[in-house]
Amino acid sequence: MVTIAQAAANRTVDLVRERVGAMLVAATQPHSDTLRLQVDKRVVRAAAGVLADELGARFMITTGIDRRELGGGFGIVHLFSLDREHLFVLLDCAVAADDEHIDSITPVVPGANWAEREFRDSVGVHPDGHPDPRRLLLADDWPDGVWPLRRDVAYNLQPPPADDMRPPLREPPTGASVVTMGPFFPVLEEPSQWRLFVEGETIVGCDYRGFYNHRGIEKLGDSVLTYNQIPYLAERICGICGFIHSTCYCQAVEKAAGIEVPRRARYIRTLMLELERIHSHLLWLGIAGHIVGFDTLLMQTWRIREPVMWLSEEISGNRKTYGMNTIGGLRRDLSPDLGRKVLDVLEEVERESLAVRDAIVGDGTLMARTKDVGVLTNQTARSVCVVGPPARASGVPIDARVDHPYAAYDEVPVRIAVHQEGDTWARVLVRVEELLESIRLVREALAAMPEGPVLTEVKEEIPPGRVGVSVVEAPRGEAVHMVETGGDNRPYRWRVRAPTYPNLQAMPTMVANNTIADVPIALGSLDPCFSCTERVEAVDVTTRRVTVYTRQDLLRISRSAAVTP
C-alpha cells in the first residue's frame, strides 16, 4: 500500500525533476516521512518555487552546514513541510568552499528572510539577491569574516571587537518619524528593539533588532557536549517550553539513529507536553492581561497555573527543566498515584479555567483592547510561514501534532482550534480552546497509558552521517530540530528553530495601521519568547531586608571568583 507521504514524495520528485531536469542530483528518502532532494545550487530558487507555489509546501527553516572536513564545501539545507501529506522535504544544496554564494530563495518564499540572513551570519554563505541582507544574529561588535558555526572556529573564541559598532538600521519611509521601543521596555520582560515608523499616531512600518542574548547553543551542541548531554541544554532553550525542546531533540536523534522508543514513554511524553501547554497558555493569558493593564487576570490565571507547576515538580523532580528526556525514552516513570493526582489537579484547573473563560468572553474592556488589533491576514500568515496559535487564529489549520504526529499523538488525536479573524482576540480564543483541549488530551493519554518500560537502552554507537528532522507543537507554535549525526558521540550539526522565529517576522504587517499603544499587545499576542536574566532579588529571612543584585553585581561575583573549572 502506498502511504500519503510516499505518494507525495513520488509526486514531489517527479515535479521537481520535470522543472529542473538533471540539476536534481539525487532524491533519497532517509525516513518514510522525510524526502531529501539534492539539487544543484544554481536551481535552488526554482526548486524552492516549485515546492512553495506548486505543491503548497510550507517553509520551515534553513540549516547551514560546514561540510569541509567531510570533503565537501558548505551545505545549505532548506527544510519544507507538506503538512497535509505528513512529509518533510529537505532541499540540500552543496556550495563550494571557494565560492560561498547561493541564490536567495526569499524572493519566492518570503518566510525564508531571517533563515537566509542567519546562515550568512553563522557559516558565511551569501544569499545572492536577498531583499534585506543586513546582519541578523551576530552582535554589533562581532567582527566581519568570523563565522561562528564554521567547524574551524572554536566554541569559546572571543575575537577582538570590531571598531564600527553601529547596528545596521533601516531608513524610515519619507515623512515618517521613528519611535524606538526597547531593547528594554517595561511591558516586555525580554530584550528586543522595535523601531516603529509612525505618521502621527499611526504606524506605517517597523524594523526589528533582536538576538541580544544569542547564546550559541547550537555551537555547544556540535562541539562540546555529547548526545546524552544535549537534552539538558535543549530544555534550557526556553524557560517555558523546556520539555518541548528536549523531546524535539531526542526525537530527531532517535529518528536519525533508528531507535524505537517504548510506547509508554511516548504516552508520558505526550502527557508532559500537554501539561506544559496548559501552564504555558495560562501564563500567556495572564501576561496578555498584564500588557493591557488588566492585572486581575494575571493574578488569577497564575494562581490557577501554580498547582500544575507543583504537579510537574512531583512528576519530574523540578517545576521547570524537568530533565526527564534522554535518547531512547525517559529517565523517570509515572507512578499510578501520581496519575490519579494529575486527574485531580486538572479537574480543579478545568473548573477554574472555565470560570475565567466565561468571565472574560463578555468583558468589553478586554475586547476593546484586542478586537481588530494586530490583524494578521490569512495570506500573510501563509507567506511568512507563521506557526502555532497565531497561524490558527488566522485560519491556517496547521498543527504539528496532526500534521507530523509524534509521541503518542497518532493514538490520541487532537482537535485543533481554528479561528478566521486573525486579530488578537482570535488568538486569545484559540489559546483558551487549546487549554481546554489539552486537559482532555491529558485525560485521554492517562486512560490509554500502556504498561511497560520507559527507556530503550542505546547500546550501539549512533552511526554518523544520518539525518533526522523532528517537530513538536509548542504552546507558541511548532519547534523544529534537525540533527545530522557525526562521530565523537555528538551531532555533526544540530539545528534548532523555536516558534517565535517565524512568528516575529509577521510583526511589521501586524502592526501596520495600528497605533503605538497597540504594539505591546500585538507583540504579546504572539507569545514571544526571547531570552533574558539580568537581576536577582535576595531576601534575608531574619531581618526581612531585600537586596537587589544588578547585572553588574552578578557579573562581578561570577567572574572575579577563582573557583571555576
| Residues at the contact surface with other proteins, assessed by CB under 8 A | 224-225, 228-230, 232-233, 236, 296-297, 299-300, 303, 306, 310, 313-314, 317-318, 321, 323, 331-332, 352, 355-356, 358-364, 538-539, 541, 544, 549, 557-558, 561, 563-565
Spatial separation of the C-alpha atoms in residues 556 and 65, rounded to whole Å: 37
The string of DSSP letters for 25-55 reads EEEEEEETTEEEEEE-GGGHHHHHHIIIIIS
DSSP SS3 for 353: helix
Q: Any idea how long the chain is?
A: 565
Scanning the structure block, which residue is given the C-alpha cell 485543533? 416
Comparing CB distances to other proteins, the nearer of 177 and 318 is 318
Comparing CB distances to other proteins, the nearer of 158 and 558 is 558
Q: Shortest Cβ distance from residue 539 to other proteins (Å)?
A: 6
Is 510:374 a contact under the CB 8 Å cutoff? Answer: yes
Q: Shortest Cβ distance from residue 368 to other proteins (Å)?
A: 10
Q: Shortest Cβ distance from residue 318 to other proteins (Å)?
A: 6
Spatial separation of the C-alpha atoms in residues 124 and 24, rounded to whole Å: 24
Comparing CB distances to other proteins, the nearer of 174 and 543 is 543
Q: Shortest Cβ distance from residue 290 to other proteins (Å)?
A: 15
Which CA distances in Å does 323 have to 226, 228, 234, 245, 451? 15, 11, 10, 11, 22
Comparing CB distances to other proteins, the nearer of 163 and 358 is 358
Comparing CB distances to other proteins, the nearer of 26 and 561 is 561
Q: Shortest Cβ distance from residue 249 to other proteins (Å)?
A: 12
Distance of CA 169 to the CA centre of its chain: 26
Query: CB 215: neighbour CB atoms within 10 A?
Result: 12
Beta bridge partners of 206: 196
Closest by CA position to 259, among listed 350, 329, 359: 329
Spatial separation of the C-alpha atoms in residues 223 and 220, rounded to whole Å: 5
Comparing CB distances to other proteins, the nearer of 188 and 311 is 311
Element (H, E) at 37: strand 34-39
Q: Shortest Cβ distance from residue 329 to other proteins (Å)?
A: 13
Scanning the structure block, which residue is given the C-alpha cell 554589533? 140
Q: Shortest Cβ distance from residue 545 to other proteins (Å)?
A: 12
Comparing CB distances to other proteins, the nearer of 324 and 346 is 324
Which CA distances in Å does 161 have to 9, 120, 167, 200, 421? 47, 19, 14, 39, 47
Which residues lie below 8 Å from residue 266, measured CB to CB, with a gap of 6+?
A: 407, 408
Spatial separation of the C-alpha atoms in residues 370 and 504, rounded to whole Å: 18
Spatial separation of the C-alpha atoms in residues 204 and 198, rounded to whole Å: 6
Element (H, E) at 326: strand 325-326
DSSP designation for 517? G
Comparing CB distances to other proteins, the nearer of 174 and 564 is 564
Is 280:529 a contact under the CB 8 Å cutoff? Answer: no
Q: Shortest Cβ distance from residue 221 to other proteins (Å)?
A: 11
Q: At residue 259, what are phi and psi to the nearest 5 degrees?
A: -95, 130
Comparing CB distances to other proteins, the nearer of 101 and 535 is 535
Q: Shortest Cβ distance from residue 362 to other proteins (Å)?
A: 4
Spatial separation of the C-alpha atoms in residues 225 and 103, rounded to whole Å: 33
Q: Shortest Cβ distance from residue 314 to other proteins (Å)?
A: 4
Q: Shortest Cβ distance from residue 63 to other proteins (Å)?
A: 23
DSSP SS3 for 156: coil
Comparing CB distances to other proteins, the nearer of 88 and 249 is 249
Spatial separation of the C-alpha atoms in residues 556 and 406, rounded to whole Å: 45
Comparing CB distances to other proteins, the nearer of 101 and 351 is 351
Comparing CB distances to other proteins, the nearer of 81 and 325 is 325
Q: Shortest Cβ distance from residue 237 to other proteins (Å)?
A: 13
Cis preceding-peptide flag for 168 (omega within 30 of 0): no
